[in-house]
Amino acid sequence: MKKWPNQLFINNKWVDGIAGRKWDVFNPANGTLLESVALADARDVDAAVQAARKAFDEGPWPRMDPLARGRLLYKLAGKIRDNLADLAMTDTLNVGKPIRDTLGFDVPCAADLFESYAGLPDKIAGKCYGTLPDNVTMQFREPMGVIAAIVPWNFPLTNAAIKLAPILACGNTVVLKPSEVSPLSALMLANLALEVGFPPGVINVIHGTGSDAGTPLVEHRGVDKITFTGRHQTGAQMLQAAKIGMKGVMLELGGKTPSIVFPDALLENVVNGVITGIFFNLGQVCVAGSRLLVHASQHDEILARIISKVGSLRQGDPTDPKNHLGCLATAQHKKIVINYIEQAKKEGARSILNNAHLSQGEGCFHPPVIFDGVTSNMTIAREEVFGPVLSVMTYQDEEDAIRIANDSDFGLMANVWTNDGGRALRVSRRLKAGRIAINGGGALRANVPVYGYKMSGIGAELGFEEAAHEYTNSKAILYSLGTEKSPWPE
Active site amino acids:
252, 286
Burial of 21 (0-12, 13-18, 19+ CB in 10 A): middle
Tell me whether residue 177 or residue 305 sits nearer to ligand NAD (CB atom). 177
Tell me whether residue 232 or residue 305 sits nearer to ligand NAD (CB atom). 232
Where b means 16+ CB within 10 Å and e means fewer, 407-434 reads: bbebbbbbbbbbeeeebbeebbeebebb
Tell me whether residue 34 or residue 239 sits nearer to ligand NAD (CB atom). 239
Find the shortest distance in angstroms from Cβ 82 to ligand NAD: 26
Tell me whether residue 101 or residue 372 sits nearer to ligand NAD (CB atom). 101
Of the candidates 148, 182, 206, 180, the residue with the CA atom closest to the CA atom of residue 15: 206
Q: Confirm if 218 and 73 have CB atoms less than 8 A apart.
A: no
Tell me whether residue 59 or residue 214 sits nearer to ligand NAD (CB atom). 214
Find the shortest distance in angstroms from Cβ 106 to ligand NAD: 12
Find the shortest distance in angstroms from Cβ 28 to ligand NAD: 14
Of the candidates 158, 170, 155, 79, the residue with the CA atom closest to the CA atom of residue 118: 170
Burial of 300 (0-12, 13-18, 19+ CB in 10 A): exposed
Angle at 183 between CA 178 and CA 185, to 5 degrees: 105
Q: Give the SS3 label for residue 14.
A: strand
Tell me whether residue 114 or residue 410 sits nearer to ligand NAD (CB atom). 410
Task: For residue 362, report the phi and psi dihedrals to the nearest 5 degrees.
Answer: -70, 140
Q: What is the dihedral of CA 323, 325, 331, 332, to 10 degrees?
A: 160
Q: Confirm if 154 and 284 have CB atoms less than 8 A apart.
A: yes
Round to whole Å and give the CA distance between 241 and 232: 14
Interface residue list for ligand NAD (CB under 6 A): 150-154, 159, 177, 179-180, 209-211, 214-215, 218, 229-231, 234, 237, 252-255, 286, 384, 386, 412, 452, 457, 461
Find the shortest distance in angstroms from Cβ 182 to ligand NAD: 9
Tell me whether residue 297 or residue 332 sits nearer to ligand NAD (CB atom). 332
Region for residue 20 given its phi and psi (left: phi exceeds 0; alpha: psi -120 to 50; beta: otherwise): left
Round to whole Å and give the CA distance between 367 and 356: 8
Tell me whether residue 180 or residue 470 sits nearer to ligand NAD (CB atom). 180
- Residues whose CB falls within 8 Å of the CB of residue 260, separated by 6 or more in sequence, listed in order: 293, 395, 401, 402, 405, 414, 415, 416, 417, 427
DSSP result, 424-476 = HHHHHHHS-SSEEEETT-----TTS-EE-EETTEESEES-HHHHHHHTEEEEE
Task: For residue 287, report the phi and psi dihedrals to the nearest 5 degrees.
Answer: -100, 20
Find the shortest distance in angstroms from Cβ 20 to ligand NAD: 20
Find the shortest distance in angstroms from Cβ 189 to ligand NAD: 15
Q: Confirm if 468 and 170 have CB atoms less than 8 A apart.
A: yes
